[in-house]
Amino acid sequence: MNASYVDKILCPRCEATLPFTAEVCPHCGSATRPIGQPGAGSDDAGGPSAPPLLDRPWVVLSLLFFVMAILGLPLLWKSRAFSLAAKIVLSIVVTLYTLALFAGVGAICVWAYRRVVEAM
């Protein structure tokens, strides 16, 4: 009795008794097991295991260079997308980038100021 129970499965839809090897129920046509093995793709699918935004290098890099500049350095150091060496190098680059940005803005201000003074 137990032996016959083991090699039979129940159709999940119509509950007909089917041979264990059946993939499609002959009664209702329903698949007897989910398509795709559960667990096979669970490493990269699903919310909890998906990497947070901060762990994506390009998100952090665009924040640094287009939005926050030197203010984004804490984000860089919090991110797990970069190695320690990369963080040190990027910190220096972002600092220089921010200084250049300020220097550029300062130069424009000086240029505009001189134009105004010359016009008077």
Please give the residue ranges that form the binding site for Zn ion (CB under 5 A): 11, 13-14, 16, 25, 27-28, 30
What minimum distance in Å lies between the beta carbon of 21 and Zn ion? 15
Question: For Zn ion, which is the closer residue by CB, 31 or 105?
Answer: 31
CB 11 within 8 A of CB 27: yes
Query: Is 94 in contact with 73 (CB distance < 8 Å)?
Result: yes
Q: Indicate the residue among 16 and 54 with the shorter CB distance to Zn ion.
A: 16
- The nearest distance, CB 6 to Zn ion, in angstroms, is 20
The Cα 38–Cα 50 span in angstroms is 17
Give the shortest CB-40-to-Zn ion separation in angstroms. Answer: 25
**Smallest gap from residue 33 Cβ to Zn ion (A):** 12
Residue 36 is classified by DSSP as S
What is the Cα 6 distance to its own chain's centre?
A: 43
Angle (CA) 102-105-107 rounded to 5° is 105
Q: Which is nearer to Zn ion, 22 or 59 (CB)?
A: 22
Question: Nearest to residue 87, comparing CAs of 59, 51, 57, 109?
Answer: 57
Whichever of 25 and 63 has its CB closer to Zn ion, that residue is: 25
